Amino acid sequence: MESFDYLTEEDTAIETLGSPKIDSPVQCITIQGQEIGQFPCRNFVTEDDRVVIDNSQKYFLECFEKGKSPLSFEKAGPRQKIYFDPNKIKCAIVTAGGLCPGLNDVIRSIVLELYYIYGVDNVIGIPYGYQGFIPQYGHPVIDLTPERVSYIHERGGTILASSRGQYKTEEIVDALQQLNINILFTIGGDGTLRGAQQIYREIEKRGLITSIIGIPKTIDNDISWVEKSFGYETAVEDAAKVLRSAHVEAVGAPNGIGMVKLMGRYSGFIAASAALASREVNFVLIPESDFDLEGPGGLLIALEKRLEKRGHAVIVVAEGAGQRYLSDLPQTKDPSGNIKLKDIGTYLAERIHRHFNEMNREINLKYIDPSYIIRSQPANSNDSIFCGFLGQHAAHAGMAGKTNMLISLWNNEYIHVPIRAAVARRKQVDLVGDMWMSVLESTGQPLLKNNP
């Protein structure tokens, strides 16, 4: 069990714009002008409704022994009193960073929840990520009406488009002021959330009444305090199909090797999960687990043994794995300031070819990189449902005056997480946890280290 000693109650506290005093319209819904009655009281959530960080008996015993109360997150959901008057507010949605299945589903959910449940009919989209706020680029805003978003969940990508880049927070907040935005919904990963936190600080500095609500988007599933991110299930499902194709290619030729590079800059969740889903992978290489190439315990000798025994092999490598082998290449950064990873896939393919050529042994290696195909797919059914809940809870939080927070799923409950807590650490595969142990059992791969 992970230790949470570094967390305090302050780390889980959610900031608000003020005391909510307006009766929520969620109490009474109308469809086509006809009242259909009251929601049951259980639909309302109070500030006392909490979700414990760890619901294991061991954690409760540890807290008891230390004389501390278990840490918990604020539960997401509609409040009986809201902060904003639905008739007088304007909301904006922005998507930033790389593409991911489900982006359109989240946009659609937010718009429909605001319009049909809260009666908010003034929602705009900011095109091309945070760049869309900057006047010099001249991107016009997009009116997001129920009609505009009705069928967007059937398409991959985002109707708002996206971008990477570092832009002046002051200019972004200037634009929010000029547009009279009361709630900004930011859909993005670690960099987008850090940007949202900076926007919040500038808003607070100016004394503005604008709520910042994040919806975590990371296909790598690597944001802390987010049990799973939307698009992850779709990515794993599609990645598993690619691995099965790689297996077909491998068994279809003498000494066949199918190698697939998947997303995962610093966390190998997709590679590990896709391997478990396909059950046809022999080696899984992820950023969290260092591996040797040469030597008796290295990958190349292990691959030799696999081919001798079975005549084929399937390798899946996360994009961030084995970067130490490429350390002599020049380091570059993307427009957002993130270090660009070197291509471990092509390096491994070349290195494997060279190794077997030196042995004068023929291999048939097929290298597949489906990353851009996977991330641009529409969400599958489970992800689409999940995106719907995330969008609904984001709307509830924004209308209640919550700010500088994101919506997350934790212990099977939807919760509010402060952005500062989510970006403080990166979630990674636990090398002694159930997932990685299952990967090692499923693949049968050795530790791939000369001195374990």
Note whether 291 and 451 are within 8 A (CB): no
Beta carbons of 176 and 92 less than 8 angstroms apart: yes
Backbone angles phi, psi at 444, to 5 degrees: 75, 15
Helix (H) / strand (E) element for 50: namely strand 50-52
Measured between alpha carbons, how far is 449 from 294 in angstroms, rounded to an integer? 9
- Segment 279-282 long-range contacts (CB within 8 Å, at least 24 positions apart): 279/442, 280/243, 280/244, 280/247, 280/314, 281/243, 281/247, 281/314, 281/315, 281/316, 281/442, 281/443, 282/306, 282/313, 282/314, 282/315, 282/443, 282/444, 282/445
User: Is-contact 401 82, C-beta < 8 A?
Assistant: yes
DSSP 173-239: HHHHHHHT-SEEEEEE-HHHHHHHHHHHHHHHHHT---EEEEEE--TT--BTT-S--TTHHHHHHHH
DSSP helix/strand/coil, 418: strand
Q: How far apart are CA 452 and CA 448, in angstroms?
A: 8
**The one catalytic residue among 220, 238, 292, 383:** 220
Dist CA 288 CA 277 (whole Å): 20
Longest dimension (CA), the chain: 79
Place of tokens 């142990």: 437
Q: 139-147: long-range contacts at Cβ-Cβ below 8 A with a sequence spacing of 24 or more?
A: 141/92, 141/179, 144/93, 144/107, 144/111, 145/111, 145/115, 145/121, 146/111, 146/112, 146/115, 146/116
Q: What does the buried/exposed string (b/e) look like for 409-425 if buried means 16 or more CB atoms within 10 Å of the residue's CB? A: bbeebbbbbbbbbbbee
Of 449, 252, 445, whose CA–CA distance to 366 is shortest?
252
- Residue 430 known to be catalytic: no
Q: How far apart are CA 181 and CA 209, in angstroms?
A: 9
| Catalytic site positions | 220
